[in-house]
Amino acid sequence: MEEARRMIISEAAKCTYCGFCEAVCPTARLGPHRGYGPRGRLAVAAHLASGGAASPEALASIYSCLTCRACTLKCPQGIDVAEVVKAARSLYVSGLARPRVSFTVKPRR
Amino acid sequence: MGAAEDLARILGRDKVVAEEAIVRLYSREPSGLAAGELPEAVVFPESAGDASRLMAYAYRHGVRVYPQGSTTSLSGSSVPEGGVVVSMERMDSVREVSVVDSIAVAEAGVRIDELNALLAGRGYMFPVDPASASVATVGGAVNSGAGGMRGAKYGTMRDWVLGLQVVLADRDGTVMRVGCRTVKCRQGYDLVRLIVGSEGTLALVTEAVLRITPLPENVVTALAFFPGLGELAGAAVAVKEAGVQPYIMEFMDEETTRAAAEFTGAGFEAEGAMLLVSVDVNREATERAARWLSETMRRAGAASVYTARSMGEAEEKGLFAVRRAFLPAQGYVAERRGMRRHMVYIEDVAVPPSRLVEAVEEISRLGDEYGLLHFMGGHIGDGNLHPSVVFDPSSPGEAERVEEWFLEVMKVAIRLGGTVSSEHGIGTLKKKGLEMELEALGAGKALGIMAEIKRAFDPKGILNPGKVV
């Protein structure tokens, strides 16, 4: 788990926040906020991996990803967001990201 | 009670998010700048009515409001400092397209590429094309006064916005329309152009009436590599002297070209400084234009020239790929050099195209003098340069050296009769530069006038405070 945590933080640190990934992400336009897109997910994953609280919207961000990797094709840094998302999910199910809260993945429309 | 709770009650719970993990996503931009004090919440208006209720509340309670599109800004103009962020992303409808009137009416959150995909179906386009157009929004482009690769031919946002719907920072959150639906429009002082490029400091933009123009019938492209910048500039001059106004004319210096070609794995010899020229033509003129472009490049001293007779062919051959790699190639070089962390700082000065070679040479020399890893490219057609440096912000003294370099680059632009910001805006990063430029023009009073205008629009100073003036 320590390795997953380190991987998340180092991958998220590569993100320049250009947002080009959001143009191709199938969920980015459907969600209620930027957390439903790749650059948002990377930052949310880093937040969780650094000990930030697992809030409902943060978890919805991580669990709304389809892990389709369309974003990686657009990313100037070649970040594999799907792998980061999977690692963040593993932190949560293993109980390392707390607290346990109920959350809903909800499209805006 | 806090603003987040109040606004959730006024607008509806689903339009306000106050969780820290999400608020943080709206507190930084690609410039590397981030909020010192986190905003209390992000608010998502879904109509001008929502925006109006929000602004009325903010005015009455003195809450700072930071408007955002897709936050692709590079000048610090979209970074909040406390207050609330207003994300326009949910106002994303194209309300109207009229080919007869040559206009499109779009809400602030419509992405430029989405608008263009819609317009292409009618044989039209919106020609302002910032590099971030895939995600950049109409509202963000209005506020930043965006430009792009087609700037030399089509200009920037100020040439393409006919009218605006805005919400004022007053007691009622007044919704106001300014400008026209016609190209010719004399409506007293030009408030539309005052708001275009105002970086969210004057009014909250909710909708824009945009000019549109027919797509060119065909576009011919040449990618040429020159032994030096002198020859490259000569080619650009030859194109202009022939009476041709290129659709796109871009360049990168030798070292930047090498890095970009390596990064993309370009399937052709990319040695020397790169010039990319596209010309829009009638279909019947394709062959003649392609031959002329190629010959013009060769006569000016190009060592190699690659041409394409349509946009499709140019994409297939990867002619645009090298130019598009301008930014990512810099991160690639930084990683290969083993930089633990790196930041890319992109400058945005412009000089009259006739002074471009001088500017490029001086700016490159500055990069060497300051011992920085520097790159150079830009829009040669309109004189807009994007010199940039890649550095490790954690390395001692490095950030200070970059800041000094930044100021010196702006001084070069001013000395050569140029400007410190072409299309990225002033934000927080260029306030000093704006002052220097106005002083050099003998327009010391202009800043005071701008501050008065700001007060007239936003008497309480709640709209994107700390930016521009």
The predicted-structure confidence for B67-123, as pLDDT tens digits, reads as follows: 999 999 999 999 999 999 999 999 999 999 999 999 999 999 999 999 999 999 999
DSSP state of B28: B
Percent of chain B's residues with pLDDT above 90: 85
Tokens found for residue B193? 């152009």
Q: Is A51 on the interface with B (CB under 8 A)?
A: no
- The beta-strand segments (E) located in B116-272 are 124-125, 161-167, 175-179, 204-211, 213-214, 218-226, 248-252
Is the pLDDT confidence value at B454 over 90? yes
Chain B residue at shortest CA distance from A78: B328
- Reported as type and span, the H/E element at residue B343 is strand B343-346
Look over chain B and give the mean of its residue pLDDT values, rounded to a whole number.
Answer: 94
Q: How far apart are CA B11 and CA B49, in angstroms?
A: 10
Q: What is each CA distance from A72 to A59, A61, B404, B406, B412, in whole angstroms?
A: 21, 17, 35, 32, 38
- Please, are residues A49 and A8 in contact by the beta-carbon 8 Å criterion? yes
With a pLDDT cut of 70, the percent of chain B lying above it is 100
Domains of chain A: residue spans and CATH: 2-93 (1.10.1060.10)
Res. B263 pLDDT band, cuts 50 70 90: confident
**Cα nearest neighbour of A10 on chain B:** B341
Interchain CB contact of B107 with A (< 8 Å): no
Nearest to B331 among A44, A77, A108 (CB): A77
Segment B344-368 mean pLDDT: 92
Averaged pLDDT for residues B450-455: 97
Binned at pLDDT 50, 70 and 90, residue B4 comes out as very high
Residue among B307, B306, B395 nearest B343 (CA): B395
Residue with tokens 């509340």: B57
- A57 contacts B21? CB cut-off 8 A: yes
The string of pLDDT tens digits covering residues B405-434 is: 999 999 999 999 999 999 999 999 999 999
Q: A55 CB near a chain B CB, below 8 Å?
A: yes
A94 φ, ψ to 5°?
-80, 0
Parallel, antiparallel, or unpaired for β B373-375 and B94-98? unpaired
- Flag whether residue B42 sits within 8 Å of chain A, measured between CB atoms: yes
- Give the minimum alpha-carbon distance from B93 to chain A in angstroms, rounded to a whole number: 12
The ipTM of this complex is 0.96
The pLDDT of residue B1 is 54
Q: What is the pLDDT of residue A101?
A: 85
Residue B221 has pLDDT above 60, yes or no: yes
CA distance A53 to B171: 38
Q: Is the pLDDT of residue B343 over 90?
A: no
B337 and chain A in contact, CB less than 8 A = no
Nearest CB among A32, A43, A74 relative to B25 is that of: A43
Interface test with B, best of A18, A41, A44, A105 (most B CBs within 10 A): A18
- Can you point out the beta strands (E) in B150-203? 161-167, 175-179
pLDDT band at A96; cut points 50, 70, 90: confident
Best of A11, A34, A55 to mutate (most B CBs within 10 Å, chain B): A34
Structural domains of chain B, with CATH: 3-89 (3.30.43.10), 94-214 (3.30.465.10), 218-324 (3.30.70.2190), 340-425 (3.30.70.2740)
